[in-house]
Amino acid sequence: MDAINQGKLAVNDIIELVRLYPDEFLTALRSPIEALKGIIKNAESAQIENLKGSTDIQKEIIKSISDSLRSVEDTLRLLATQ
């Protein structure tokens, strides 16, 4: 708890907290994850709209970035359920 109070959490500390409190962790992440999903969706749509007439490579890069950000959510969910 001292690490939490001091704001000095290591990766292992976070992993241990997730293992100890998986339900609380997922509940705490639900709102930020939903917000990120909305931001990603809006950004992806706006970027693709702005790229009309641009190369397919640019569009694929944007989609790849969006997919990578989505995988962050999947990783957090997996970590929380282990």
Instruction: Provide the greatest CA pair distance for the chain.
Output: 54
3-state secondary structure 11-50: HHHHHHHHHHCHHHHHHHHHHHHHHHHHHHHHHHHHHHHH
In terms of Cα–Cα distance, which of 53, 78, 51 is closest to 65?
A: 51
Is the pTM of the predicted complex or chain greater than 0.85? no
Confidence of residue 15 (pLDDT cuts 50, 70, 90): confident
Spatial separation of the C-alpha atoms in residues 26 and 63, rounded to whole Å:
26
pLDDT 10s digits, 34-75: 887 788 777 777 776 776 666 777 777 777 887 777 787 778
